[in-house]
């Protein structure tokens, strides 16, 4: 299982890469492994304001559907439209081609609840 050290994580198994005021969000390698073969990803609309911890979409695997939780307060600015044709990219490359959404991080957003790689790894064994 791969857990990149340059990302931040939630206890709900989302990862976030913050670059300036933009955050790219996806699910972790652990999460995609637990879900199994991803067949569909559904998210809200561009322009939606989503608070940290709120559901912003769902991810469907062969045998289950799981909610996706936003790691930061922000406004959805882009979806990974490539997932419409190839949702399995979440399985094969969860930290690259399998990213799900980009968000403009709200001014003053509290990032203190996000875990670093060591904290996320520890949360998996708790």
Residue by residue, pLDDT tens for the chain (126 residues) are 789 999 999 999 999 999 999 999 999 999 999 999 999 999 988 999 999 999 999 999 998 999 999 999 999 999 999 999 999 999 999 999 999 999 999 998 888 899 999 999 999 987
Q: What is the 3-state secondary structure (H, E, C) of 85-108?
A: HCCCHHHHCCCCCCCCEEEEECCC
Q: For 91, list phi and psi in degrees, rounded to 5.
A: -75, -45
| The token pair that represents 1 in the structure block | 């299982």
d(CA 122, CA 77): 32
Fold of 8-109: OB fold (Dihydrolipoamide Acetyltransferase, E2P) (2.40.50)
Among 20, 32, 25, CA closest to 9: 25
Domains in the chain: boundaries = 8-109
22-27 and 101-105 beta bridge pairing? antiparallel
Contact 88, 37 (CB under 8 A): yes
Contact 25, 48 (CB under 8 A): no
């Amino acid at each position: 299982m791969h857990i990149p050290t340059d990302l931040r994580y939630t206890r709900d198994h989302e990862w976030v890469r913050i670059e300036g005021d933009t955050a790219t969000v996806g699910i972790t390698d652990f999460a995609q492994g637990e879900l199994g073969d991803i067949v569909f990803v559904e998210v809200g609309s561009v322009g939606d304001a989503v608070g940290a911890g709120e559901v912003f979409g769902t991810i469907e695997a062969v045998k289950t559907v799981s909610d996706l939780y936003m790691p930061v307060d922000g406004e959805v600015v882009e979806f990974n439209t490539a997932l419409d044709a190839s949702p399995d990219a979440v399985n094969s490359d969860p930290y690259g081609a399998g990213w799900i959404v980009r968000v403009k991080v709200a001014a003053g957003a509290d990032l203190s609840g996000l875990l670093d790689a060591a904290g996320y790894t520890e949360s998996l064994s708790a």
